[in-house]
Structure 1
Amino acid sequence: MSSAATPTSGTGHLWSVDEHMEDVLSAIRPLDPIDLHLLDAQGCVLVDDIIVPVSLPPFDNSSMDGYAVRIADVAGASEEFPAVLEVVGDVAAGAAEPVHVGPGEAARIMTGAPLPPGAEAVVPVEWTDGGLGEGQATGMRARSQAPEGATGHVNVYRPVDARAHVRAKGSDVKAGERALEAGTVLGPTQIALLASIGHATVRVRPRPRVVVISTGSELVQPEQPLGYGQIYDSNSFALTAAARDAGAIAYRVGGVDDDADILRSTIEDQLVRADLVVTTGGVSVGAYDVVKEALSHVGDEDEAGSGVDFRKLAMQPGKPQGFGAIGPDHTPLLALPGNPVSSYVSFELFVRPAIRTLMGLEDVHRPRTTAVLKTDEALRSPKARRQFLRAAYADGEVTPVGGAGSHLIAALAHSDSLIVLPEDVEEVLPGSEVEVILLG
């Protein structure tokens, strides 16, 4: 991986959101495929189509507990005139030896057990006397299920159609069919399907390992007392959770002091477990914004393609951004602003698509729609900036939540979408149609 930009290419240039996105995604490649055991593959992306080697189910089997019978033997059966059949044996799921059902015979069968040779349908046990035998029951009102292993005779009180209560071989999927397409994210149900057709391992692209590092000497970890001028570190928690939500295996490194050497050492230590590094804070122009200084000398800076480019984007919030490759393996790094809303919006726009690209997915962006703006006042946006406003979306309408301040975490927590105001729009009136990014 190597950045399309050089460490100094952002100087003096105001990048558009689309330019920055293109630069990030053009430099990131999907992770190499590996073979994993099924449970280890949960959340991973399937590399190849999966073709069914054996039909599912692999044989005709019963969908009910009951009796396997021939159709002719129960034709016309009723409570007054039940069909009396000889029970020739039991058929349990996984039974090794088949029981043959001949004229006038029935086999007691369990759910999932193979339909025995000669049988054409299954009579549910509720339609019988449960195998108590002729003269020991007085019809359906007095029936009860027979003890396990019972033989003798069974009274059947209803006729059945051919193939009744029988799951046909291949009725789920047939041998040679495609069970799953390449690009499928493996969840519990997909893993169940793979196991049911005999797969113990599967070839996937692994979940990316993402290290999230928040910077700032003012940051304090939750449950610790706050001193003068200190705040709790929320960014590392928010972005780690967001990375996991995107499909990554995420590691949180919170509250690194504003010291270039400490930050540099921390990042270098984390590279061993990182497919992607995300930092938050220290990318502006303040005297204590040390991320730029630290990242200019991370790992083997002499390696071709290494280095981080810090740039300004024509967006609000999230104007200052950084992107590049660090270390001997050219690990991609995205440096995000430190304000909580700026950080989270930047993650959704740039980091989430990068994670999804590493996973090998084709659709890497959040879904977008249009909605009617529901508000009492017009929305205003700075000239030549693409603005992203927190909002709540429902039934084709979208309502702004909170103000435009990049520090309003409570408003962010009650949002499920972002209103997008383009660069050429400075005012949007209530009732107008706007573009919306759906976050939920």
Structure 2
Amino acid sequence: MLDRPPEAAAPPPADAASSSSLATVLCVDDEPNILSSLKRVLRGHGLCVITAGGGAQALSMLEKMPVDLVISDMRMPGMDGAQLLEQVNERWPQIVRILLTGHADMDSTVAAINRGRIFRYLPKPWDEAELISTVRQGLQLQHLERERARLEKLAQAQNAQLQAVNIELEARVAARTAELKDANVRLQRNYLKSIKVFSNLLELRDGTLAGHGRRVAETARDIARKMGLPEEEQRQVFIAGLLHDIGLIGMADKVLGKPVARYTEDELTLYREHCVQGEQSLMALDDMHPMMPIIRSHHERWDGTGFPDRRSGTDIPLGARILAVADAYDDLQNGMVAGTPTSALEARTLMRLARGKQFDPEVLDVFLHITEPERPKVETRLMLGCDALEPDMVLASDLISARGVLMLTAGHRLTPALIRRIREFEQREGGKLELHIRPRGAA
């Protein structure tokens, strides 16, 4: 039967547990006087007490209202206490279960404890203090379990939120990293283009020097790459190649256009200072510091008879030893050494004779290997006039004007505005410009 609690329940004693002050206890017994006794004791300790006269009625009540603790007698007609508490464990495992049993029912009590996972059993007749203590402990344990479950659920929710935040943060970092990488690539590309244009200014003074810095830089970079130098060192050698003759900018035009073999003693002295002057001219630029030793020493010789410091062997920076080979190769072919231009094959032959004297043997061997003549290859670039240019075409080689001015570097992608400027330049200057264009889809 259901016994409603009084409207104004007596206040709990001072020692009542806070976790049991609002707890609901269901007492199940087929004897009304037992239920009355349980109700009297438990209500006196601030508990809400409901009662049922049997197992079936108790299950029906549990389906309709929340209950924190069930106290059931063992011996009842129909469904006994062991069967009831076993079903309670299966359907409402969070409810604390206590069994009242007599001394004669110990075997059944042990079986009930195992099947129903009973919190505690109490003998009949019970001790009131022990009953209250057992109920309080059961409710406290239940409170701790509920708190643990709440905290676990909260932690799971917070972990899920944190994981979502981390995923979003990683995506943002990845996107920002990609943006910075693209920006850095563009900056490096523009940086090299600026250096190419700057190095070309010196070459404008004499037609024989047109493209010298670029060719030396590309050859030096090929040697460095073949020797397995790190990418950053390859870049340093390339930039040093572009700027290696910057110290010559102060020389008179009549001297600059003569082969070195025809210099007077005074002119030769002035020429030998260009390595130091080139180094000094770059001193204010922090980014150029790694290239300064290469530029200063690119005219040193392996045997120690070079200039400006007469360094020898591996005491010469490796980048300078590489640059010395690349510079000599181009100078021989454009006639700046002896006045008479040589072919690539003749230049290679002359340089081989200077192995171990002027040039580092290892560097020279690598150079000779990568410049070994090959069978002619099928042309993989298109030569087009200005009228045939289209947006998104890519230059296969540098565009140099008839006066030797570097206008665009290889790899530059054409835009409608750029094509318009090229055509306007062609009309102003007269003559026809022809551009080497990469085929569509070519790397």
Q: Same fold (TM over 0.5)?
A: no
Relative contact order, higher structure (CA 8 A, sep 6+): 1
Q: Tell me the TM-score range normalised by the shorter chain.
A: under 0.3
TM-score normalised by the chain length of structure 1: 0.22
> Larger radius of gyration, structure 1 or 2?
2
> Is the strand fraction higher in 1 or 2?
1
> Is the helix fraction higher in 1 or 2?
2
